[in-house]
Amino acid sequence: QVQLVESGGGLVQPGGSLRLSCVASGYIFAITSMGWYRQAPGKERELVATENRPGGSKNYADSVKGRFTISGDTSKNTVYLQMDSLTHKNTAVYYCHIGAEQKYGNTIKTESFWGQGTQVTVSS
């Protein structure tokens, strides 16, 4: 069973930076997408950044373009989110997501995995 564990969240002052990490453990045949999502209190979960297949195209929410960077290290099955110039609006629980192709015998299935979330609080 694949498990994702996020780390790197915490309390940071406005204008500061944080780097989130997400390590995937367990069997993964092929990663098809990596992403970070967030959910603020009273709001729906929203996309922050995604990368289609390691080294593929990247997509960012308009509100984080130029400040956040998603990257991955496939050798470590790890996804990162570098967050700079943080503001109060970035306060949320951040969730890591990995889309993967899993091979079971001769069958390949597309599966989706989520981390448990890490809290990011931007406050002075």
Burial-class residue 17 by CB neighbours within 10 Å (0-12, 13-18, 19+).
exposed
pLDDT tops 90 at residue 55: no
pLDDT tops 90 at residue 99: yes
Q: Considering the chain, what percentage of its residues have pLDDT values greater than 90?
A: 86
pLDDT band, very low/low/confident/very high, at 1 (cuts 50, 70, 90):
confident
Q: How many CB atoms lie within 10 A of CB 33?
A: 17
pLDDT tops 80 at residue 78: yes
Q: Give me the mean pLDDT over the 32-57 stretch.
A: 93
